[in-house]
Structure 1
Amino acid sequence: MNKLFVDQTIEINASASKVWDVITVDEYNNHWATEFSSGGPQFHLDSTWELGSPVLWKGEDGTVIVEGDVTALEPKKLLRFTVFDVRSEEKALVTEEDGITFHLSEYNGKTTLHVLQGDFSVMPDGKKYRDLSAEIWEKVLPSIKKMAEAAN
């Protein structure tokens, strides 16, 4: 079966440093992360964003909904972390390259943010979940752009 990824890019009129902050600083990421709740309970990200550190998506009551680990890190350039819904019945086989990857490249004060999420092919109904995630990223990326440009 072919791998299934969400693969989206947006250009942001801000430095890679500002975009990085919007991705990793609670004040910002707790705004865009709520898009993933899809009308369910609101949650926030909890991580130190260090290589190997946990990334926890916690509900309002502190319950962990999604967990993962930072598997690749190059500050202001690359961040990858795994994601696993703890409510899922079975744990899908994931590699360290699976999960969510942010790749930032800056040129002339503008940053291109490339997001890759997957591989959804390891999940039952993977295409459905990839398509749902793609719809969410279509809201998240403009939100990240807006916050980074406002902070500029």
Structure 2
Amino acid sequence: METKRIEEAILINAPAEKIWQVITEDKYNRDWLIEFGAGNIADTDWHEGSKALFMDESKSGMAGVIEESRPFEKITVAYTGIVTDGEEDYESEMAQQMNGYREVYILEEKGDAVRLSISCDMDKEYYDDMAAAWRKALEKMKELSENL
């Protein structure tokens, strides 16, 4: 698989603490994860070293680990496999292809606002659709954070 990196950013008029809540708290992240597909959830506590499963309503998606978690600053998810019908898979060819993909969230203060930037490794085949989904997700994260 050929990989491309999605890189997007948005300026949010809210403190980093509120943005962090929107990223990490289930009651908020379900509202922006839906941009990637119906019923998408993040099954993780977002603490460094914790397992992270990102799944849709069919319980399929990506499996990884929270590689780095610095509250109000940065989260790095390292993908290690896939999930199919609720079963984690780290051995199949498809799972091995995901191994090493990273997703990074960075929060940087910019005056009275915070710049939230994301980068995400993506198979070239899905790049355009996923980049568009990330733009929508960031807009939703901005809306949620500014109204929290």
Which is further off, 103-112 or 51-60? 51-60
Distance 1:85 1:129, change over 3 A: farther
Structure 2 residue 17 is matched with structure 1 residue 30: no
Q: Is residue 94 from structure 1 mapped to residue 102 from structure 2 by the alignment? A: no
Identify the residue that residue 51 of structure 2 maps to in structure 1.
54
Structure 1 vs Structure 2 CA RMSD: 2.3
- CA distance in 1 between counterparts of 2:145 and 2:98 reads 34
Alignment: residue pair count: 139
Partners of 1:85 and 1:131 lie apart in 2 by 21
TM-score (norm 2): 0.82
Higher strand residue share: 2
TM-score, normalised to structure 1, is 0.80
Cα offset, 1:53, TM superposition:
0.3
Structure 2 counterpart of 1:110, from 107, 110, 113: 113
Partner of 1:15: 15
Where structure 2 has 5 or more consecutive residues not aligned to the other structure, the ranges are 85-91
Q: Is contact 1:56-1:64 (8 Å) kept?
A: no
Is residue 43 of structure 2 the alignment partner of residue 78 of structure 1? Answer: no
Residue ranges of structure 1 left out of the alignment (5+ in a row): 121-125
Residue 3 and residue 65 in structure 1: after superposition, are their counterparts in 2 closer, same or farther (change >3 A)? closer
- For 2:3 and 2:52, the matched residues in 1 are separated by 24
**Contact 2:44–2:50 (8 Å) recurs in 1:** yes
CA pair 104-132 structure 1, distance change in 2 beyond 3 A: same
In the alignment, the residues of structure 2 paired with residue 68 and residue 2 of structure 1 have an alpha-carbon distance, to the nearest angstrom, of: 20
Counterpart AA for 2:5? F
Residues 82, 94 of structure 2: 8 Å contact kept: no
> What's the CA shift for 1:34?
1.4
Give 3-state SS (helix, strand or coil) of 1:138's partner: helix
SS at 1:70 equivalent: strand
Contact 2:62 2:83 in 1 (8 A): yes
Q: How many angstroms apart in 1 are the aligned matches of 2:60 and 2:50? A: 15
Distance across 2 between alignment mates of 1:71 and 1:54: 9
